[in-house]
Amino acid sequence: MYLKPSKNKRLLGMTSFFNEIINLYNRGKMPNKILLSGKKGLGKSTLAYHVINYILSEKEDFKYKIDEFNINNENKSYKLIQNQTHPNFYLIDLIEEKNSIDVVQIRNMITYTDKSSFNNMPRFVLIDNIESLNKNSVNALLKIIEEPKDGTFFILINNNEKKILPTLKSRCLTFKVNLTFNQSIEIASQLLNKNVPDYINHDILNYYITPGEIVNLFNLADDKKINLLEYDLKGLLKILIDNGYYKKNKIVKIIIINLIELFFLKKYKLTNTKDSLLIFYHSFLNKIHDVEKFNLDEESLFIEFKSKLLHE
């Protein structure tokens, strides 16, 4: 199952953050610039969509189910956002096959905010993956969020493995989103409708994993007919790299990179040659960064990792 945040009508694990933001809104003290920061896959974007739906559906017939943290199936605002036709909602995200959010996307958003609203409801601009903003788009964004128009709220989503400019962060109220390992397992089990530990080799799990990462891994395993109980970490990496499942598939690339980082972590705890491993690890991270930044071919990178560490 693919869990697109805008379509996820259930809010799991994020209820305390939801309540905190909504309490600010109900008291008229919600800031017009909010930054949700945390590891990718925690549910930050889903949290943002639920906050937005709660506010936009206040006066609708099928408003947000606050007692269940659930979006009503018949909710008008939910349907309009799915159709990308809600007049009070604007989304900016990284376009597929692009390496950054460019300045044109920000300028189009500014044009939207400059137009008069057709109603008296708040307007929301949701910017996902803000670490992907390039220099020009950051500068353009800073100008508009410095003094946003009354009734316009910006919610920014940052995957905190990657840094953002302090000038942007300093202008926002930041919520540092996190989950415990047990919470991640519990949420993923609810999303997948199965007890996750019963279906995966424990060697593959790590204590920094998120529900989204677990769901993506199970989706991959279902698609490629991989029994996650049969493979340890090393074996799973081999099969993913040998079969080239990462080619033209960004989600699989991320899965492999996460598993490689876990491999380094576990090997570091066991090896006596820590210095040489650290040097290779940092070199590998730099190469990952270059591959993402310059849209390079990652095949040689994964093959190098496999030949140096998986075949010793």
State the pLDDT at residue 294.
Answer: 66
230 near 12, Cβ under 8 Å?
no
Return the pLDDT at 144.
92
Give the start-to-end residue ranges of the domains of the chain.
5-176, 181-310
Number of CB atoms found within 10 A of residue 202's CB = 10
In the prediction, which pLDDT does 237 show? 95
Would you give the DSSP letter of residue 99? S
Strands 89-92 and 33-38: unpaired
**Residue 85: per-residue pLDDT:** 95
pTM of the predicted model as reported, rounded to 2 decimal places:
0.92
Residue 202 main-chain phi, psi, to 5 deg: -60, -25
CATH number of 5-176: 3.40.50.300
pLDDT at 6: 94
Residues of the chain with pLDDT under 50: none
For position 295, what pLDDT does the model report?
67
Angle at 150 between CA 107 and CA 62, to 5 degrees: 95
Structure tokens at 55: 């506010």
Q: How far apart are CA 179 and CA 208, in angstroms?
A: 9
Here the tokens at position 182 are 């047990």
What is the token pair recorded at 201? 């080799």
What pLDDT is recorded for position 1?
Answer: 58
Q: Quick one: pLDDT at residue 276? A: 80
What is the reported pLDDT for 2?
Answer: 57
